[in-house]
Amino acid sequence: MPTLQLKVSPLQNPSRYRALAEAMTRITAEELGKRAEVTAVVIDDVPAARWHVGGTDVQRPTAMLEISITQGTNTAAQKAAFIERAFAELEAQLGHGHGQGLEPASYVIVREVPASDWGYGGQTQAARALAKTSAAQAIAM
């Protein structure tokens, strides 16, 4: 049940936002094993005059991607592969397509949230896991 928040600069056209959302959902499923049907992607655009790196406004395409996943559900290697692949996709869609590379200080951040602290559909991930365990135990009896 990951959520992804992507900030990009400069402003993009609507088809680019769809392509980014589709790519980030696919990469999340392939690298982290997350279900695409409950993966939420929110994309915000930030004017270059409001994005600063090293104390100055950015001159190149820039991005910051934050993904929240349930704590303990992925290995360090899986998270590293996600970061590498997500950055490469951002570079391909935002950097090279605009005739210049993506700002090197474009970040991909993986945040792990305790299962008790978040959920969807009104149910925490901890409650969802407990329900699965209880159902499996009932079947085994």
**111, 25 contact by CB (below 8 A):** no
- Band (96; pLDDT cuts 50, 70, 90): confident
Helix, strand, or coil here: 37? Answer: helix
What pLDDT score does 80 carry?
A: 99
Domain annotation for the chain: domains and CATH numbers: 3-140 (3.30.429.10)
Task: Give 11-49 pLDDT, tens digit per residue.
Answer: 999 999 999 999 999 999 999 999 999 999 999 999 999
For residue 139, the model assigns a pLDDT of: 74
